[in-house]
Amino acid sequence: MTFTGVRTGPMPVVYCNGEALRLPVIRESGWNREARHSPTGFEWGYNGSGPAELARAILMRVFPHDRAVREPRVYQAFKFQVVSCLPREAFTLTDSEVRAWREVFDDVGREAS
């Protein structure tokens, strides 16, 4: 699985294996409500609301059955450590790279416990 971000018009676009990546469906009510961070969609290359949406969307695509990736502590860490560091012009990120990040993130969490 390969994620590619490009800037070809007024709004950046992110593809997953050539198909446009969409904002994930989130829970908008109830005790486990999730926040929609960006009204305008995905971004990368800095820390902000658009990068938070992209971080969550990528993690949810790579780990579709893992509820933990929907938790802010996980996708915000991915945003700060990976998405904010992607080149602003364009990027390519593989699921292998995402899985490698997650393995280190999980190992650090276990060590801190």
pLDDT in tens, 59-104: 999 999 998 888 889 999 999 999 999 999 999 999 999 999 999 9
pLDDT at 9: 81
Range 60-78 burial, b when 16+ CB lie within 10 A, else e: bbbbeeeeebbeeebbbbb
pLDDT at 52: 93
Of the candidates 16, 74, 13, the one whose C-alpha atom is nearest the C-alpha of residue 40 is: 13
Confidence (pLDDT) at 113:
42
44's tokens: 């990368």
Reply yes or no on whether the pLDDT at 112 is more than 50.
Answer: no
Is the Cβ–Cβ distance between 92 and 2 less than 8 Å? Answer: yes
pLDDT at position 8 is 84
pLDDT-derived band of residue 41, with 50, 70 and 90 as boundaries?
Answer: confident
Measure the CA–CA gap between 33 and 70, rounded to whole angstroms: 11
Confidence tier at 6 by pLDDT (50, 70, 90): very high
Asked whether 61 and 21 are in contact (CB, 8 A), the reply is yes
